[in-house]
Amino acid sequence: MQPAGLAVLLVAVWCHAVPAIADVQPEQRNFEPSTDPALFAFDRGAGDGGLYTFDNLSVAQDPRAYRPDVGALDFVYHNHEEMTRYLRATTARYPNLTALYSIGKSAQGRDLWVLVVSASPYEHMLGKPDVKYIGNIHGNEAVGRELLLHLIQYLVSSYGSDPYIKWLLDNTRIHILPSLNPDGYAASKEGTCDGGQGRYNSRGFDLNRNFPDYFKQNNKRSQPETEAVKDWISKIQFVLSGSLHGGALVVSYPYDNTPNAIFHSYLSQPSLTPDDDVFKHLSLIYANNHGKMSRGVACKTASPSFENGITNGAAWYPLTGGMQDFNYVWHGCMEVTLEVSCCKFPPAYELRKYWDDNQMSMIKFLAEAHRGVQGFIMDPTGNPVERAQLKIKGRDIGFTTTKYGEFWRILLPGVYKLEVYADGFVPKDVDFMIVEQHPTLLNVTLQPAKEAAEYSASQLPGASYDRPLTPTTPIVNREPARPNAANQDRLIFTS
């Protein structure tokens, strides 16, 4: 279908169908400690009894006095118990904006906590994107862990007074995992800028070398922390993600590995994805909003400098089993690695400086989930087509629809063709356009095939779905809108 044959409508006003929160002010409550962690479950599936368990338990007495009526978060490092108390206190103080759940446990049994911050923290928001931040995958890289706690505090405390934050939380579900490696963190030491003490999990595995790899078989034994992440992102279809690290000041984007790397070395050749333009854009959004990163200054004399504060991962140094490549290739999630501090575990008195440098970057980066195209794949009766396989022509990494028929793809302005394949339906190509000012809504209706078996997406010529994209059953969904204004136009295509 040619662009001229598309029905293009310009919608004058976009109204957000998100219920208003009457009161997000601190509330004085009396809590009794509970021994039941399963108060309610997150996004219940049919007959599965809940995929994740939320923990909104009360706050016990503790030396730091984190209670629901305490609003300030101090600039110190928080051990696992202190972090847990703070997260629970936040959910108690902001029950309409937050929800706390665990995706699993570390090798030593510590919960891998995730806090959702959104105007709809527990409920599916049709057409609205899920995004995530993950910190502390290397246990001794501790700045990101604290930055994510302060991001939580800033988001919940600013919802009632900052229109931009309100827009972001009304239209996005933000999942924040402050520490993926709490065991490694417990073995680390404040003030240690270099070295490997605490980098690995308690079994001695580097978690950022522990994921399946696109270019090479990864024979390292999968760890419980890695398995928890793999299960998590197979159930929630994240659009955008950032992993916070330390030891450099740069944004690194996929690919991290390359088929040509015989050994790992610095200053290798870049290994570019089909979405290299998008990854560079996302990386620059973070670097340019950072207090120092875009200057490209090397942390040490012997360390490389990075033009504009960004780098292709393999061009920096190739690695096998990285998390950002896994997110992108297996699940279509655009993830980058955020190196936010030259010192891995700097003294606590420097944390405020790191927050000042990264605050704007962290917020603006998440808003990029609302750039590009989003829409629904439906059958002629209006029912959603689940697990339809999609690809932007010329960009071989595929992505799938949710059980509600939704899809999202971050793209820069231009003209594109969407290729859609689904079992039992005739394949379809649809042309559409992305403009800078507005997101594009693209709804596609598929016609049933006479014989479904003939149209198996995996057997179609040119589908290019031999890549390790695993069909998933996502449980949460999205709705892009541009951050420029509360009321705005959207470019709409139907086919």
Sheet holding 373-378, edge to edge: 7-11, 490-494, 440-445, 373-378, 406-409
Burial readout 9-45 (b: 16 or more C-beta within 10 A, e: otherwise): eeeeebebebeebeebeeeeeeeeeeeeeeeebbbee
∠ Cα 276 278 284 (to 5°): 100
Catalytic residue among 225, 339, 368, 406: 339
Q: Which two tokens stand for residue 5?
A: 């044959």
Q: Is 339 noted as a catalytic residue in this protein? A: yes
Q: Which two tokens stand for residue 312?
A: 């292709």
Half-sphere exposure of 458 (CA within 13 A, CB side): 8
- Please name the residues in contact with 14: beta carbons below 8 A apart, sequence gap of 6 or more: 481, 487, 488, 489, 490
Burial readout 344-356 (b: 16 or more C-beta within 10 A, e: otherwise): bbbeeeebeebbe
Give catalytic residue positions: 339
